[in-house]
Structure 1
Amino acid sequence: MDLPGPPLPVDAVLPRLVAALTEADAAVLQAPTGAGKTTRVPLALLQADWLGDHGILMLEPRRIAARASARRLAGQLGERVGETVGLRVRGETRVSRRTRIEVVTEGVLTQRLLRDPGLEQGRTVGVVVFDEVHERSLQSDLGLALSLQAQGLLRPDLKLLAMSATLDGERFAALLDGAPVVTSEGRTFPVEARYLGSPRPDASGRAPRIEDAVSAAVRRALEDEEGSVLAFLPGSGEIRRAAERLEGTVPRDVTIAPLYGDLSARDQDTAVSPAPPGTRKVVLATSIAETSLTIEGVRVVVDSGLARRPRFDAGSGMSRLETVRVSRAEADQRLGRAGRIEPGVGYRLWSEVEHAALRPFAPAEITQADLAPLALTLAAWGAAPDELRWLDPPPEAAFEAARELLRELDAVDADGALTDHGLAMADLPMHPRLAHLALRAREMGRAGLAADLVGLLSERDLFRYAGRLPDVDLRLRIEAIRGARDLSHRGARLDRGALHRARQEANRWRSAWKATDTPGDLDWAGPLLALAYPDRLGQRVGETAEGARYRLREGRAVLLDRDQPLADAPFLAVGDLDDRRGGARVFLAAPLDADDIESLFADQIVEDESVGWDAEAGRVVARRVRRLGAVVLSEAPIRDPAPHLVTAGLVEGVRQAGLGALPWAKETRRLRERMAFLHHHLGADWPDVSDDALLDGLEDWLGPYLAEMSRLSDLGRLDLGMVLRQLGGSRAELDRLAPSHVTVPSGSVRPLDYSDPDTPVLAVRLQEVFGLEQTPRVLDGRVPVLMHLLSPAQRPVQVTTDLASFWRDAYFDVRKDIRGRYPKHHWPENPLEATPTARAKRRR
């Protein structure tokens, strides 16, 4: 196989790979980083007889990797990007009629499949190459699932190739119906791993910042080793701070080069290009440098062991970037970057013990991400998740939460079918929230403002926080993106890079929509933000020591710091929240009013009779309420609410106040204890009258007796004993099995105490049971009562369940004691023959 350029390790298996795809409609190429699969495989496939005049679509996980790959492929052919090798990423398209190999990011494939499910428009695609599939991005998994179905239903001649740098190729082969696996050994030099241990707390117990530890390790590497250094940090913030710490502390011939996704293409190219002769370079990179990219001259790696990944919380409806430990596979990928040109060294900021505890692979993004884009894509594609083939299917709960959001955005109907509006949303390469905002705003004649908001909300905030929270008002950002305001205030610095990228994205959409600014359109910022985040529409409901308290449409309470200018706004559209520190706090918002809500969400506002419990007043309160979820737009009292709603409200009041709110007379409590005793011993034959059971079933056993009651004070009219008896069991059986009283030999009728469900208690003076040979029993003789035998002063002198044994063994010792204390009372030597008495009987 004749390929341009110097040979690479993967070349040895390329004939086998092409042959495998000749026989099968899919294959897996397993080749380590540095084998050359990204830059050699497309050129080899271009020469395959089965490809004919068809094209090659190669997916890369990131824009920086796509640009670098397209540039290297074109360079091998002696061409520029846009000729045989084309590029298509967000905001940049370089293709022509000559283009046979098109390098795209994963989202571009999804959009193309929706418009052209057979991949036949223009130059027909003959093979789709999924590069770096081991990274398991959501878009890659989705693109592979859609391509498999397109292949099965529309294009049996379409071939699929999954390329992986790790040892999980067999899983992909199984997904591709047992596709052949071609393995390249690659060519890497040995890399020595040096474990430096995790950064230790200082004398004050405070853990050092990771950028400090990485900077120290970089300086050590520059002193001990030759060659350029690639250092991995979790995010752009840590990279900027590490660069600041290294400036002026490294030799003059060392250049510091940041590398992360938000950098301009020029700055990214600078980072990956070779260091000038006689100099070295320190590249401070995020995980984008793990694979796909070749950074010339690197023979030393410094690895923080951290990465930043999005994690979606279906309960809050938000995705958050979390800093997490890398997997062993990722750590090995990073280490291997030092062995591309010669033996290398890798400094790991953790211990060997910690390394052994790392998880083998990183979790698939589909298991943790915001699934709203995926749900919209599947609705547009016309398939449910269980109709597609996945390595890991989308989690059911998260997917249903995503579908619910799409319903709120009018993208799907109640049955989950795509609406015309949803179809238009799916055609826009942006998050469904922003697509809904953009389409509705353009209908309102606010396309310019929509473009600005898409630019701002697609990018991280324009502030770099420094201590206090900057002004959260979205309108200030809009003024900044339009060049009308400097945001350097409230202790925050303007992120010029974020501003540039947001403005660039806004201008792209302004151009596409031919949009202009409309006078006074800043007043529409809140309403348009509410369109994107209808679940985060907030109503001010009070304040705390920390700030204004808002209740969101979906029911949660959030806080807005009291010194924020928007803290008095009655309604807010909330664009960003931070709930990592206990109570959720508003980070980005814009004001709107009740009329805006009425206009935007008229078809979703409901009017109902709200009958609830007012704990402070101790009564049921009935109102007619117009609401949007938990946001109350208006309310008025109802004079004659439906009786069943009043009863439900009073039941809720009892539930909140507890059973102590009911009129428990002494006899009623004893009745309940007797019933509890029978349930304890006889089970379901008798009702459960425990606190939990009664509270759980209030509606059933208490509700029918609350007619014409609406206050806790009304409960005093209840005949609670009668209500309890209706729960079950006949009164005759109750009295027979668990009598309330027993008659003792003296003729007195004494109550039984059933407060302990195991054993009832009979408290009686000793003199009243003279002549009683056996202990009384209940429950048809199965349970003896516990007798508390009392002195004339009503103090226990003996506790027993075996009266016969007491008379025989213990009575005489008791007699000696109480004769001395109660000498005027009669204490016979033979109590079984003595006359019982309820009165004090003087001795003669």
Structure 2
Amino acid sequence: MEQRHKQALPVDGLLPELLERLSEQMNAVLIASPGAGKTTRVPVCLLHAPWLEGQKIIMLEPRRLAARAAARYMAASLGEQPGGTVGYRVRMDTKAGPHTRIEVITEGVLTRMLQADPSLEGIGIVIFDEFHERHLHSDLGLALCLQTQAVLRDDLRLLVMSATLDAEPVAGLLGGASVLVSEGRAYPVQTHYAPKRVEGRMEDAVARTAADAMDKHEGDALVFLPGAAEIRRVQGLLGSLGLSPNVRVMPLYGSMPPDAQDRAVAACAEGERKIVLATTIAESSVTVRGVRIVVDSGLSRVPRFSARTGMTRLETVAVSVASADQRRGRAGREAPGICFRLWTETEHRALQPQSEPELLGADLAPLALELAVWGIADPAEELAWLNKPPAAAYSQAQELLHELGALDAKGKPTAHGRAMAELGMHPRLAHMVLTADKLGLGVIACELAALLSDRDPLRGSRSIDMRLRLEALHGHAIGGAVMDEAAAKRIAAEAREWMRAAGIQPASPGNAGDNGQIGNNGTASKAESAGIPISSSTHIDSIGLLIALAYPDRIAKRRGDGRFLLRNGRGAAVQELQPLSASPFLAAAELEDSGSDSRILLAAPLTPMEIERHFGDQLEVETEVQWERAAEAVRARSRVRLGSLILKEGILADPDPELVEEALLSGIAEQGLGLLPWTKPARQLQARIELMRSHNPSWPDVSDETLTASLKKWLSPYIGGMRSRNDLSKLKMAEIIESQLSWQERQQLGEEVPTHLTVPSGSRIPVDYSDPAAPFLAVRLQELFGLRHTPHIAGGKLPVTIHLLSPAHRPVQVTKDLASFWQHAYFEVKKDLKGRYPKHYWPDNPLEAAPTNRAKPRA
């Protein structure tokens, strides 16, 4: 071991230049190929730099496995164990002491250190290793360190290291930092592409390729797969392919226990070989001993946040060229190797050069909370970034933090928000744990937080009920589903860690009662022996409330057939019929964003009482007063609403009169003026006024269009207390329309556009104004004897159309020129009428004859 550590590595020749550059400048960029030794050589080299002056070196690693491995390797090179000169600090595992000078940490730990001490007192340099992976916390850490360097610590040095990185933008961000390049030590690797696009299940092709490669080539195999589910499937397939008895199949992914990860990367015992099935955890930083074969599925799983839905989903994507090259390089770390890529050369040419930075597609709620606590109002303007946070996603993150009570109205962190940030959990889970602790539900909230942060440990269960996972965690057998014991231990350890961070004490086993743990018939001791925190059996039904605290936007109300409406207005559905399908309310912990209705994957029931009690300050009491077309009446309802969800609804007996009037007018506008009780005189009056307006635009406009558009102005004074069409029937429309006129206009209207005309017989005949442009008079012909010319109205401007009627009131002629009628048409009409009405008076000279409204004139 010692001898191996003292072997020359490619980066060794570059170390003197690196020391010189860092003595002259505050920042530098080091590009070193895989196997160059940058991770383990550089920190040890910098230990005795004069500018360090006994201060510590902090090195960031993107993964816990890499952090532990790097610390152990460096400690061994110094003849020590981790915790001496070299230590590490990752979540739930720390080995560092008072004499530790090199501390390897994961990226989130740096954020906590900066929040606790923005000046990073006692730290001389921060090294960002494997920066090409561009995790959100590494981008955030670099942005905060640059501000610390600019404002508080002009002596703080920053070093960015990577194997595959476009160095110039990073060097520019670091103020024109020097760029040093080391080629690294890599053995040749043969690369084989698939002859054609892989068809069928990807896992089948991966298993066949790995088994065949182990038969034909020496060394161990490292197989890259997108996630733990694919790893389990390939592991099962390999077990049926008749591998040699000396070949072990070992998974390697982030949520595995540390000791299992260490076994996977360690060298095999003499005479043994291994196939390591890994996610991107093995892509860089870590050397998996003995690997000569790489089988690459070409896929990785990345989180994608949707600003449209407010949800993060894991998306399987094709790797970038840089990632594919990193994976291939794993086969040439210790000897010549071979790489099998399960995609064609044509497909390879279409891959993106670099992976997209996590910052551009992630949920930014954790980032927004950290920046608020740091004191940043506008991250795009106040901090230096390689890529600025997307404005839409950042704004949505701030809205969530407001909803969780982490930010005040001015965007400043509240005391609750600062406490959330100190926990180091996602803001949703931190809010849930802190709030639950005040309700006496702290222990079970930590268990739930650990479950939600891990993959589903309940294998074989189709149930979406989150309560079953808590029960299974405490030893209950759930409908044939099996609890993954390794996952249970990991979840229990994480729950205890968060209980410690939040200052939550588990209940004592001796004081069961309400604080006793879940389970009976010996289950308690089993759970206790597994290290599972003790939570209350009476608290299991509070899971829905706890989920709602973490995901208030995912409170859902049933709307039938397993379909639900979320508080944010989106739809969601339970795909298979199960008990929770009928729950009136759910809180969804996990959703799969797919189409118009998201698929509910994990949830628990929630009661209206819990919603009212714990979300009362977010409830809106809404009064709805609106016109109902079917009833032709105004209906008033009172609603209690949580976002898009209506919790209560009832008839409002005494609504605001102004709202009633507004709704009534709205109904009239919607259905038309036909709702009003128009009489013929009212319509005639409207037409007479319109006729006057056609000759004089200063007259009021009382057309239907204008009346509809100005209902409030002319109708409001007359509808007080009215709610329905039946009430409206009491209106006197002629009086209402006439009220639009002044006294002078009323007089002028009566004179110039009269309602009746007196004809020669003495009869007062009504004028029909249904067509204001052509008013007409329907009168029996005999009553007009002696009238030489057509009557005119509107100050003599408009002739009245004469509808001449028979004695039986049947129309016989229509004319606007009465004189012409007497001269030409009368005699033909006379012949016809005389034949039909022989007893009536039909003079030869109508202009000299006496008019009559009888059969014959009076003697």
Q: Assess, with a 3 A threshold, how the Cα gap between structure 1 residues 195 and 445 changes in structure 2: closer, same or farther.
A: same
Cα gap change, 1:715 to 1:559, in 2 (>3 Å): farther
Aligned to 1:526: 544
Q: Secondary structure of the residue that 2:72 maps to in structure 1?
A: helix
Structure 1: which amino acid aligns with 2:264?
Answer: A
Q: CA 1:606–1:6 in 2, change beyond 3 Å: closer, same or farther?
A: same
C-alpha separation in 1, matches of 2:316 and 2:240: 28
SS of the counterpart of 2:423? coil
Q: Which residue of 2 aligns with 1:142?
A: 140
Assess if the C-alpha contact under 8 Å between 1:326 and 1:362 holds in 2.
Answer: yes
SS in 2 for 1:626: strand
Aligned to 1:732: none
2:427 alignment partner, one of 424, 432, 442 = 432
Partner in structure 2 of residue 266 of structure 1: 259
1:559 positional shift: 2.0
Point out the more displaced range, 109-118 or 244-253.
244-253
Hey, what's the Cα distance between the residues in 2 that align with 1:132 and 1:106?
A: 11
568-577 vs 699-708, greater mean Cα deviation: 699-708
Residues 120-166 of structure 1: per-residue CA shift (max 9 Å, x gap) = 1xxx1110010111101001101111111111111111111110111
Q: Does 1:296 align with 2:289?
A: yes
1:649 Cα deviation from its structure 2 partner = 6.3
The one of 628, 632, 638 aligned to 2:652: 638
Specify which of 486, 492, 497 is matched with residue 508 of structure 1: 497
- Give the secondary structure class of the aligned counterpart of 2:260: helix
Extract unaligned runs of 5+ from structure 1.
Answer: 202-207, 664-693, 724-750, 752-844
Q: CA deviation at 1:389?
A: 0.8
Q: Partner of 1:227 in structure 2?
A: 219
Mapped pair 1:537 → 2:538:
no
Please state how far the C-alpha of 1:366 moved relative to its aligned partner: 0.6
Secondary structure of 1:520's counterpart equals helix
Aligned equivalent of 1:312, options 293, 305, 313? 305
SS of 1:316's partner is: coil
1:488 and 1:90, CA in 2 relative to 1: closer, same or farther beyond 3 A? farther
| SS of 1:406 mapped into structure 2 | helix
Match of 2:392 among 389, 397, 411: 397
Which amino acid counterpart does residue 514 of structure 1 have in structure 2? Answer: Q
SS in 2 for 1:424: helix
Aligned equivalents of 1:585 and 1:618: distance in 2? 41
Report SS of the residue matched to 2:186: coil
> How much has 1:305 moved relative to structure 2?
0.4
CA spacing shift, 1:701–1:80, aligned 2, 3 Å: farther
Of residues 156, 162, 165, the one that matches 2:163 is: 165
Tell me how far 1:526 sits from its aligned partner: 2.0
Residue 118 of structure 1 aligns to a residue whose secondary structure is coil
Structure whose CA Rg is larger: 2
Q: TM-score under structure 2 normalisation?
A: 0.73
Letter in 1 for 2:255: D
Kept after mapping to 2: 8 A contact 1:647/1:706:
no
1:603 lines up with 2:596 in the alignment: no
What is the CA distance between 1:110 and its match in structure 2?
A: 0.4
Alignment of 1:330-349 (within 5 A): 330-349=323-342
1:739-750 matches, cutoff 5 A:
none
Question: CA 1:353 to 1:641, structure 2 compared with 1: closer, same or farther past 3 Å?
Answer: same
Q: Which residue in 1 is equivalent to 2:365?
A: 372
CA drift of 1:3 comes to 12
**Equivalent in the alignment of 1:827:** none
User: Deviation string for 1:480-529 (max 9, x for gaps)?
Assistant: 2223x12354xx54333332221221233345522223462223222222
Name the SS for the 2:491 alignment partner: helix
State whether residues 106 and 139 of structure 1, in contact with CA within 8 Å, keep that contact through their aligned partners in structure 2.
yes
Cα deviation, residue 225, structure 1: 2.0
Percent identity over the alignment is 49
Equivalent of residue 439 in structure 2, options 444, 450, 453: 444
Q: Give the equivalent residue in structure 2 for 1:486.
A: 477
What are the superposed Cα offsets for residues 172-192 of structure 1, whole Å, 9 maximum, x if unpaired?
A: 111111111111111212222
Indicate conservation of the 8 Å contact 1:373/1:431, yes or no.
Answer: yes
Counterpart of 1:379 in 2: which secondary structure?
A: helix
TM-score where L is the length of structure 1 = 0.74
1:380-419 residue pairs with structure 2 within 5 A? 380-384=373-377, 385=379, 386-419=381-414
How far apart are residue 449 of structure 1 and its match? 1.6
Structure 1: which amino acid aligns with 2:584? P
Q: Is the 8 A contact 2:570 2:597 kept in 1?
A: no
Change (3 A) 1:648 1:286: farther
Q: Tell me by how many angstroms 1:313 deviates.
A: 1.2
Alignment partner, residue 112 of structure 2: 111
Shift of residue 567 of structure 1?
2.8
The alpha carbon displacement at 1:660 in A equals 15
Could you tell me which runs of 5 or more consecutive residues in structure 2 were left unpaired when the two chains were aligned.
508-534, 677-704, 738-770, 772-859
Note if contact 2:369-2:417 (Cα within 8 Å) is conserved in structure 1: yes
Give the structure 2 partner of residue 71 of structure 1. 72
Give the corresponding residue for 1:37: 38
**Number of equivalent positions:** 672
Paired residue secondary structure (1:513): coil
Q: CA deviation at 1:568?
A: 3.0
- Find the residue that maps to 2:574 and give its secondary structure: strand
Q: CA RMSD for the aligned pairs?
A: 3.4
Q: Deviations along 1:394-444, whole A, 9 cap, x unmatched?
A: 111100111011011100011111101111111101011111111111112
Please give the per-residue CA displacement for 1:30-76, whole angstroms capped at 9, x wherever unaligned: 11111111111110111211111000111110111111111111111
Listed as ranges, the matches of 1:762-777 within 5 Å are none
Contact 1:488–1:494 (CA under 8 A) maintained in structure 2: no
Indicate the SS of the match to 1:42: helix
Structure 2 counterpart of 1:247: 239
> Would the aligned equivalents of 1:110 and 1:143 in 2 still touch at CA under 8 Å?
yes
Cα separation, partners in 2 of 1:186 and 1:291, compared to 1, 3 Å: same
Q: Which residue in the other structure is 1:196 paired with?
A: 194
Superposed CA deviations along residues 358-397 of structure 1, whole A, max 9, x for unmatched, are 1111111011101110010001100131211111111111
Shift of 1:566: 2.4
Structure 1 Cα separation of the partners of residues 85 and 572 of structure 2: 54
1:677-688 equivalence runs, <5 A: none
Q: Deviations over 1:69-95 (max 9, x none)?
A: 111111111111111111111111111
How do 1:344-355 residues align onto structure 2 when only pairs under 5 Å count? 344-355=337-348
What residue in structure 1 maps to residue 182 of structure 2?
A: 184
Q: State the partner residue of 2:317.
A: 324
Structure 1 residues 631 and 340: CA distance shift in structure 2, 3 A: same
Contact 2:458/2:469, CA 8 A, preserved across alignment: no
Q: Which SS does the other structure have where 2:284 is aligned?
A: coil
Decide whether aligned partners of structure 1 residues 324 and 699 sit closer, same or farther in structure 2, where only a CA change above 3 A counts: farther
The equivalent position to 1:552 in structure 2, one of 563, 566, 571, is: 566
After superposing the two structures, state which structure 1 stretch, 405-414 or 640-649, moved more: 640-649
SS at match of 1:398: helix
User: Residue 574 of structure 1 is aligned with which of 584, 588, 591?
Assistant: 588
Residues 100-121 of structure 1: CA deviation (Å, up to 9, x unaligned): 011111001101111111111x
The alpha-carbon deviation at position 169 of structure 1 amounts to 1.4
2:291 partner letter? V
- SS of the residue 1:627 aligns to: strand
Contact 1:560-1:585 at 8 Å conserved across structures: yes
Q: Letter of the aligned partner of 1:119 in structure 2?
A: L
C-alpha distance in 1, partners of 2:164/2:155?
28
Structure 2 residue identity aligned to 1:456: L
